[in-house]
Amino acid sequence: MNDVVVLIPHYNNIEGLKKSIASINDDVDILIVDDGSFSKPTEEELRDLCVNPRVQIEIIYLKKNQGIEHALNAGLKTVYQKGYKFIARLDAGDECLPYRFSVQKQFLEYNPEIYLVGSWAEVVEENRVSYILKKPTDYKTIKKLIFVNNTFIHPAVMFRREVIDEVGFYPEKYKYAEDYAYFFKITKKFKCANIDKPLIRYTLGESNISWKYYKKQLKSRIKIIWDNKALNPYWFYGLIRNIFLLIVPKQFIEKLKKILFTLLTNKEYKKANF
């Protein structure tokens, strides 16, 4: 058994899952939780895609589709019982850049005060890398800005098993924003960080939850911010900002981001943490 396990929820996206598996070259174990897919992957077909022979793959098949938060918790309970030291996330369709898990594991080993580490990401739109999605790197900034926006890229995180001891599992009452709620809980208890370089290639499109369920996700995020109310300007700004985003069409927001950041730099388009 390896020290690191990669938790991948899956629902009717076998080609995306294969792409994700083929991108992993570290010494890790992989746990896939199939959330009641019509077409189910097999361990044999996925194992053939592994570039590293030391990678071990296990699949849990849930009887019916109950949503990503339920699938994630089923996976977390399994990996916790097995005793893995580090738990990493990846979504079907997203790709790891070379030695992503080795970099994050080494970071956590060298920084024992940090319990969760994420990274930046190369964002793919229309089959090409459009920009680098950046997140704050230091804990002080992360703890402030989490009231405004998610300060982690969900499929890019790795955390210690001790996080589960203190925080438990993903909250299931915040539909399509379970990661945001979970990170709120974690940042209250533990120091966290982001590595200041891309370690994954993150595919953005209509199948992505943030796009597909944009309005529903925003409603959940507003509830999360409200439930974590604090007497600071970041809480107030985050609440107003997300209500504004809920009212304004997403297409307008995306167009505005591109215009603003094209004006700010002639060299590259950077995603706004807007």
What digits encode the pLDDT tens for the residues 30-86?
Answer: 999 999 999 899 999 999 999 999 999 999 999 999 999 999 999 999 999 999 999
Token pair for 136: 């704050």
Does residue 116 sit in helix, strand or coil? strand
Residue 121: inside a domain, yes or no?
yes
CA distances from 21 to 47, 92, 106, 180 (A): 8, 8, 21, 25
Residue 272: inside a domain, yes or no?
no
* pTM, to two decimals: 0.90
Residue 270: inside a domain, yes or no?
no
DSSP 186-243: HHHHSEEEEEEEEEEEEE-STTSHHHHTHHHHHHHHHHHHHHT--SSHHHHHHHHHHH
Percentage of the chain exceeding pLDDT 90: 81
Q: What is the DSSP letter of 91?
A: -
110-126 per-residue burial string, b: 16 or more CB within 10 A, e: under 16: eeeebbbbbbbbbbbee
Contact, 151 vs 182, CB < 8 A?
Answer: no
Could you tell me the residue range of the domain that residue 121 belongs to?
4-264
What digits encode the pLDDT tens for the residues 225-261? Answer: 999 999 999 999 999 999 999 998 877 776 776 666 5
What digits encode the pLDDT tens for the residues 173-225? Answer: 999 999 999 999 999 999 999 999 999 999 876 556 566 788 899 999 999 99
Which domain CATH number covers 69? 3.90.550.10
Q: In whole angstroms, what is the distance from residue 174 CA to residue 168 CA? A: 15
Contact, 159 vs 79, CB < 8 A?
Answer: no
Residue 274: inside a domain, yes or no?
no
Task: Report, as an integer, the average pLDDT of 148-153.
Answer: 97
Residue 193 zone, left/alpha/beta (φ > 0; ψ -120 to 50; rest): beta
Residue 174: inside a domain, yes or no?
yes
Residue 74: inside a domain, yes or no?
yes
Number of domains in the chain: 1
Residue 271: inside a domain, yes or no?
no
The rounded mean pLDDT for the chain is: 91
Q: Residue 269: pLDDT above 70?
A: no
Pure H helices in 48-161: 68-82, 100-110, 139-145
Q: In whole angstroms, what is the distance from residue 185 CA to residue 171 CA? A: 9
β-sheet bridge partners, residue 158: 88, 117
Residue 31: inside a domain, yes or no?
yes
What digits encode the pLDDT tens for the residues 105-141? Answer: 999 999 999 999 999 999 988 778 888 999 999 999 9
The confidence score (pLDDT) of residue 258 equals: 65
